[in-house]
Chains A and B, each alone.
Chain A
Amino acid sequence: MHTYALANHKGGSGKTTTAIHLAGALAARGRRVLLIDLDPQAHATLGLSSEAEDSPCALEVLTGEVRALDALHAAPGGITLIPSHGRLAEFEERAARELGSEGVLRRVLAPLAGRFDECLLDCPPRADGLLTANAICACDTLLLTVETGAFALQGALKAQEIVDATLAAARHAPELRVVATMFDRRLRIAREVLIAMQARFGARLYDTAIRSSARLREAAGAGVPIQLLAPRSTAAQDFAALADELALFPVGA
């Protein structure tokens, strides 16, 4: 099972959207995909028409109250989801008092290794929290999602700094990749930022830039991945191309 953590220090960079629709694209290729919502705002959970009011969520999995196997939800598009809930924010508080709490997620995911081909971790919009630290320590590839807008590069570089520090402390070295999101080629700033990202990240930047699309907003409203709502849309094409890239350049390549 390859584990991808989608992270950035900046909110609104497209982490959740990328997580949902990339999971959908991988599932559409017949891959067995697990999506874990690690954001207490639970947007990935809501974006897949799920909720965890009365059922186990990522908090119970992380605290060991429930096995990961028992927290799996079937979500639209053939995705399997471990949902999130607002109470997940308690984890940061609880885990801060314990030593080695960055490695919890890695341990609880180990029993799922044979059940899924890909696991996507949707991180909260801060790179210096314990939830993101857990995701970083559990992942094989860290996907920095960078919006092609103002301040995007600064956010990405800040996230990279924090990630480097976390990795050094955890003695873990996942592959770092970058994906450009919300790209609108009609906007000059978007073009400039994409060129700057290519210069800054080079081969670490995926060839596919996820274009902004009204269809993605509609998909979030409908609670389904874009592959179900509009399989022939440009957004679906972008995520399909990104999924192809993940398959072409697997971890360690």
Chain B
Amino acid sequence: MDSLALLCSLYGQGPVTLRRLRDAGCRTCDDVLCLEPAKLADALRTRLPALAERFQREARELAARIGEFGGPAPALESNELAAVSAPALEEAGAQLRPELLDGLDSALCLRLRSLGIDRVEDLACADALDLARSLEVPVTRVVRLQFLARRLADTCVETESELRTFTLLPRRSQLSAARFSPAESAGELAPLVEQERMEVWAREQAFEPAGVATEGAAGPFGAEAPAPEASAPESEAVDPFA
């Protein structure tokens, strides 16, 4: 399935729209963007240029998501992967110490050690709820620390590589920024994206019921899809990769 067929399945009438666009000479999402709205409206057999403009907007967003032009998605992805760098992985088996994880102060570090959690790996594998009760701290704080610990451990790398295998999905915030300044977006957005992802992940770990993810965030590794037709019923936000 090429990007044009994907676009037509997601936002058009499937094979009918695909055939019309191919007849008009389109082969990719980029080709759709290059067409004049009036010509695109003709190709789509609609009299409303606004519909054609909307289709182009959807094509632009999809192209950004699958990295068809400019490559903002792969660039962001490689930045995220770079965050789990080789030197950091060496710390996975290291003794817990305050400077290793953001939010881990020396008092908490001592209390963790008193519970037998000496290494980053131990923290990553511990039961969050039990740990929160033993330490008498909010479970969200433990979950956040565990997230950072897992980033240093191998498990996180597997997750990241799985993500890369399955899909290239930047977040909506990335998409918006990439649309206006693709070259600058990666570096500037990386900390924000990381923070947002961590917050969503922490909320999920805090046993919030499924389907209550915040608007604009499908999950820790998911992304908000562009809105469908206004009249169409929308499902709850679900992360297919969870």
Contact B14 A209 (CB under 8 A): yes
In the assembled complex, which residues on chain A have CB atoms less than 8 Å from the CB atom of B10? 185, 191, 194-195
In the assembled complex, which residues on chain B have CB atoms less than 8 Å from the CB atom of A218? none
Contact A186 B233 (CB under 8 A): yes
Q: Is B114 an interface residue (CB 8 A)?
A: no
In the assembled complex, which residues on chain B have CB atoms less than 8 Å from the CB atom of A197? 1
Q: Is B165 an interface residue (CB 8 A)?
A: yes
Q: Is B234 an interface residue (CB 8 A)?
A: yes
Mark A210-248 against chain B: 1 for CB-CB distance below 8 A, else 0.
010000000000000000000000100110110000000
Q: Is A64 an interface residue (CB 8 A)?
A: no
Partner of A198, one of B1, B15, B222, B229: B1
Partner of A195, one of B19, B65, B228, B238: B65
Contact B18 A188 (CB under 8 A): no
Q: A152 vs B240: C-alpha distance in the bound complex, in angstroms?
A: 9
Partner of B165, one of A150, A180, A195, A200: A200
From B129-137, B151-159, B166-174, B189-197, the one touching the partner chain is: B166-174
Q: Is B201 an interface residue (CB 8 A)?
A: no
Of residues 181 to 198 in A, which have CB atoms within 8 Å of B's CB atoms? 183, 185-189, 191-198
Q: Is A53 an interface residue (CB 8 A)?
A: no
Interface size on B, residues (CB 8 A): 37
Contact B9 A185 (CB under 8 A): yes
Contact B9 A209 (CB under 8 A): yes
Mark B210-242 against chain A: 1 for CB-CB distance below 8 A, else 0.
000000001000110100110011110111110
Q: Is A99 an interface residue (CB 8 A)?
A: no
Contact A188 B237 (CB under 8 A): yes
A253 to chain B, nearest CB (A): 15
A61 to chain B, nearest CB (A): 35
Contact A189 B240 (CB under 8 A): yes
Of residues 117 to 160 in A, which have CB atoms within 8 Å of B's CB atoms? 150, 152-153
In the assembled complex, which residues on chain B have CB atoms less than 8 Å from the CB atom of A153? 166, 240
Query: Which one of B9, B13, B169, B229 has the highest number of Cβ atoms from chain A below 10 Å of its Cβ?
Result: B9
Q: Is B83 an interface residue (CB 8 A)?
A: no
In the assembled complex, which residues on chain B have CB atoms less than 8 Å from the CB atom of A196? 166-167, 169, 240-241
Q: Is A208 an interface residue (CB 8 A)?
A: yes
Q: A198 vs B63: C-alpha distance in the bound complex, in angstroms?
A: 13
Contact B1 A207 (CB under 8 A): yes
Using known A-B contacts A191-B225, A234-B14, A237-B16, determine if residue A205 contacts B165 with beta carbons closer than 8 Å. no
Contact B234 A186 (CB under 8 A): yes
Using known A-B contacts A186-B229, A207-B1, determine if residue A199 contacts B14 with beta carbons closer than 8 Å. no
A214 to chain B, nearest CB (A): 15
Q: A241 vs B14: C-alpha distance in the bound complex, in angstroms?
A: 9
Partner of A208, one of B15, B62, B229: B15
Q: A170 vs B229: C-alpha distance in the bound complex, in angstroms?
A: 48
Q: A209 vs B7: C-alpha distance in the bound complex, in angstroms?
A: 11
Q: B residues touching A (Cβ–Cβ < 8 Å)? A: 1-3, 5-6, 9-11, 13-16, 18-19, 62, 65-66, 165-169, 218, 222-223, 225, 228-229, 232-235, 237-241
Task: Report 27 cross-chain contacts, Cβ distance below 8 Å, ordered by A residue.
Answer: A180-B1, A185-B232, A186-B228, A186-B229, A186-B233, A187-B234, A188-B218, A188-B237, A188-B238, A191-B228, A192-B222, A192-B239, A192-B240, A195-B62, A195-B66, A195-B169, A198-B1, A198-B66, A199-B166, A200-B165, A200-B167, A203-B2, A205-B1, A207-B1, A207-B15, A208-B14, A209-B14
Q: A residues touching B (Cβ–Cβ < 8 Å)? A: 150, 152-153, 180, 183, 185-189, 191-203, 205-209, 211, 234, 237-238, 240-241
